[in-house]
Amino acid sequence: MIDVKKLDRELLSVEKPARYVGSELNSVVKDKEKTSVRFAFAFPDVYEVGMSHTGLHILYHMLNSIENVWCERVFAPWTDMEEVMRKNSIPLYGLESKDELKEFDFIGFTLQYEMSYTNILNMLDLGGIPLKSKDRTDNMPIVIAGGPCAYNPEPLHEIVDLFTVGEAEELLPELLGIYEKEKLNGFNKLKFLEKASQLEGIYVPQFYEEVYNEDNTIKERKVLNNNAKDIITKRIIKDMDKVYYPDKSILPYIDVVHDRVVLELFRGCTRGCRFCQAGMVYRPVREKKSDTLVNQAESMLNSTGHDEISLTSLSSGDYSCLPDLTLKLLDKYENDNVSISLPSLRLDSMTFDIIQRLQEVRKSGLTFAPEAGTQRMRDVINKNLTEEQILGPVETAFKLGWSTVKLYFMIGLPGETMEDVLGIKELSYKIKDKFFARPKEEIKGNLKINSSASCFVPKPFTPFQWTAQNSIEEFYDKAKMLQREIKDKKVSFSYHEPKLSYLEAVFARGDRRLSKVLISAWEKGCRFDGWYDMFDFDKWMEAFNETNVDPDFFAKRQREITEVLPWDFIDVGVSKKYLISEYEKSLEAMTTHDCRLGCTNCGVNHRLIGGACPHVQNNK
């Protein structure tokens, strides 16, 4: 255990000391003498962000439901706490036991966004653990990583011992089982990694080598170990009603980003937006039954006392039993002051009656994500949303008394013209006009439209994985033009920092050569890069210079369809052929329909589930 008295002496000097002490309701403390595997679930960002992540709550309680496993949490200490820890030689520790990281068998990082990678290095270093896999001996913790960014694991290949690709609820217990067996007869890390790499969905980077062409593109990947697979296939959970879901979640004392009961309605999405990585890699759609969800809501509410339930999914409105579920929940909880929120909802008339009832408990704002300002651009990205489908629901919402609207757009989408950019202003203004185009006596409230533009980042496993990102200058030109053009008091416009999106794009499609850049940036003091006030672009550019890596090569280069991509060895179920055909259709601004209405042959059913996807309506 770390020196707790020393910690106690210093904690009052840092902001929000409750981030660092644990003891929350529903957190799990076990007798370490009675456990054989100690797992640190590591979230490479601050406590409030990490504790808002549903995956953490699922895997934490899932692992702790195994008798001999004790899973604890560890977050990235904020800079003030890092300073205190380094000055007083307090190593990074698990929140529950206060044991330092070195004492754990596994440190499992979840990779939610590329800009958290420097925090991974920093957390290992604060734990006194060598950064590189090859420098860690047999008696040191195994460093593993999973989550959405593990679909392109290569920038972290030197750091992480093994990656879990896909959904981990079934994979992790298998992996820990292998580990325990290996521990019985004198643990040897290499032998364990060889055994682990035979599991479906496990990728051990040290068993492979990347070979490059003269022009810096990838020539081939070599397999260096006989146990390693050529292709790593992602893991999926087949039956969401049977898979582990916790009946309680840890209740943070301090205010976190999402402070509510989260119900996951289904995994996957059928819409097929071409910019969206989640929509491709989480296929196929797998729903939970509404009764399963009602039961899960009940035990979660009883164990936490939350007063809000959030029904989340990539696109909650597509849940086939949504009316049934929301009405059941409303009838049950309406009188207990429990409100129900539906984020990521696509609005149509069916859902409006429900939304109205939801508002009776607590009023909330409205958020729309048209993503692009013109129909042509929306067709290119396959948003499958017409202007009428945006303005109609907005009008209804105004009628029902809403007056605050958030609009999400992207700039820098493939093939975007200045006219498309201006479309963002046009659409925002059309929405404003809808508000005032009513008889005076019907207009209630104070209209506020908040339009925001994020900079498009091409991601692996999307039809846009080959496209060039806009340059930082182009992003600024577009954003600044909108800022000049939008001059209405009722409409406010904000945009995301282009430099951040540029770096995100470099790492999103990066290969093994980025590993040394990452280490160099961390050495220069980069931390919390996703936090705008912490982000130091110049340090990053120095790191690229010193390591002789050209970031433009990864962000701004248009790839050939035939090029070997750094993530080609991972199979997410959706075929490359499908991604290519979607990409080609985008060039013609041709749309592809929602695959609920009929299979669009993405390939996920042949390769992962066998037989047709359950959500397709015409497969009777």
Partner 1 sequence: MCKIINKYSKTGNLKYISHLDVLRFIQRSVNRAGIRAKYSEGFNPHMKTSFGFPLSLGIESIGEYFEIELNENLPPEEFKRKMNSVMPKEMQIIKSSCSDNTNSIMARCAYAEYIIGIESENLDMDRLNNLLSEMLETGVVYIRQKKNKKKKLVNKEINTKEYIRYLKADKSGDNKAKIEAVFITSETGSMKVDELLKLINDRAFNLDYHTIMKVDALDKDMEPIL
Residue 282 · residue 267 · CB < 8 Å: yes
Q: Is 261 left (phi over 0), alpha (psi -120 to 50) or beta?
A: beta
The CA dihedral of 326, 328, 331, 332, to the nearest 10 degrees, is -110
Q: Is 160 in the site for partner 1 (CB under 8 A)?
A: no
Question: Binding residue for partner 1 (CB under 8 A) from 31, 231, 305, 610?
Answer: 305
> What is the largest distance, in Å, between two alpha-carbon atoms of the chain?
81
Least distance in Å: CB of 75 to partner 1? 15
Q: Is 363 in the site for partner 1 (CB under 8 A)?
A: yes
Q: Is 239 in the site for partner 1 (CB under 8 A)?
A: no
- For residue 181, give every residue at least 6 positions away whose Cβ sits within 8 Å of its Cβ, in sequence order, or none: none
Among the residue ranges 253-261, 452-460, 469-477, 567-575, the one whose residues contact partner 1 (CB under 8 A): 253-261
Q: Is 87 in the site for partner 1 (CB under 8 A)?
A: no
User: What are 578's strand-pairing partners?
Assistant: none
Q: Is 25 in the site for partner 1 (CB under 8 A)?
A: yes
The CA dihedral of 591, 593, 599, 604, to the nearest 10 degrees, is 60
Q: Is 12 in the site for partner 1 (CB under 8 A)?
A: yes
H-only helix segments in 452-511:
472-485, 498-508
Q: Is 231 in the site for partner 1 (CB under 8 A)?
A: no
Cα dist from 450 to 291, 393, 408, 478, whole Å: 37, 17, 9, 17
**Nearest CB to partner 1, comparing residues 335 and 349:** 335
Q: Is 2 in the site for partner 1 (CB under 8 A)?
A: no
Least distance in Å: CB of 448 to partner 1? 16
- For residue 553, give every residue at least 6 positions away whose Cβ sits within 8 Å of its Cβ, in sequence order, or none: 216
Q: Is 575 in the site for partner 1 (CB under 8 A)?
A: no
Question: Binding residue for partner 1 (CB under 8 A) from 307, 334, 426, 536?
Answer: 307
Among the residue ranges 18-26, 239-247, 574-582, 583-591, the one whose residues contact partner 1 (CB under 8 A): 18-26
Q: Count Cβ atoms below 10 Å from residue 182 Cβ, excluding itself.
A: 18
Among the residue ranges 57-65, 69-77, 295-303, 466-474, the one whose residues contact partner 1 (CB under 8 A): 295-303
Q: Is 255 in the site for partner 1 (CB under 8 A)?
A: yes
Determine the residue type at 62. M
Least distance in Å: CB of 32 to partner 1? 19
The span from the CA of 309 to the CA of 366, in Å, is: 17
Among the residue ranges 20-28, 113-121, 229-237, 500-508, the one whose residues contact partner 1 (CB under 8 A): 20-28
**Nearest CB to partner 1, comparing residues 227 and 341:** 341
Cα-based angle 353, 356, 360 (whole degrees, multiple of 5)? 140
The CA dihedral of 334, 295, 304, 360, to the nearest 10 degrees, is -20
Q: Is 444 in the site for partner 1 (CB under 8 A)?
A: no
Among the residue ranges 14-22, 121-129, 372-380, 468-476, the one whose residues contact partner 1 (CB under 8 A): 14-22
* Residue 570: closest CA among 201, 145, 50: 201
The span from the CA of 261 to the CA of 603, in Å, is: 34
Q: Is 489 in the site for partner 1 (CB under 8 A)?
A: no
Least distance in Å: CB of 459 to partner 1? 37
Question: Binding residue for partner 1 (CB under 8 A) from 1, 3, 9, 213?
Answer: 9
**Nearest CB to partner 1, comparing residues 29 and 211:** 29
Q: Is 254 in the site for partner 1 (CB under 8 A)?
A: yes
Q: Tell me which residues touch partner 1 (CB under 8 A).
A: 5, 9, 11-12, 17-18, 21-23, 25, 251, 253-255, 301-307, 336-337, 362-363
